Amino acid sequence: GENVEQHPSTLSVQEGDSAVIKCTYSDSASNYFPWYKQELGKRPQLIIDIRSNVGEKKDQRIAVTLNKTAKHFSLHITETQPEDSAVYFCAAVGSARQLTFGSGTQLTVLP
């Protein structure tokens, strides 16, 4: 089955700096890659996603890139703000049509 690895597990950045979270996947048939944000005590919520026929997607301060050859994808957050502090999960939908999640990254934006 699909295996998704996510790095780093924790990330601290100064407010205004950029943050990058990286994920790799194993199933070459995977074709959809969402990112979820989970604030403390809350449910995960989708923040951005990318399909396998697209290399990059942006939404304001958030962007996701995908390299299908290398089987990795990344989340980029620019001009970070304190409200960006949360746990971020990458995921992949593989041939089983199920979401497989990475282990999460705790992002802390320091004022």
Partner 1 sequence: NAGVTQTPKFQVLKTGQSMTLQCAQDMNHEYMSWYRQDPGMGLRLIHYSVGAGITDQGEVPNGYNVSRSTTEDFPLRLLSAAPSQTSVYFCASSRRPVAGGPYEQYFGPGTRLTVT
* Residues near partner 1 (CB under 8 A): 1, 6, 9, 31-32, 34, 42-46, 49, 51-53, 89, 93, 97-104
Closer residue to partner 1, CB minimum distance, 9 or 81:
9
Q: Which residue matches tokens 């939908």?
A: 93
Contact 15, 81 (CB under 8 A): yes
- Report the chain's C-alpha Rg in angstroms: 13
CB of 80 to partner 1, least distance (A): 22
CB of 92 to partner 1, least distance (A): 10
What's the rounded Cα separation, in Å, for the pair 103 and 85? 17
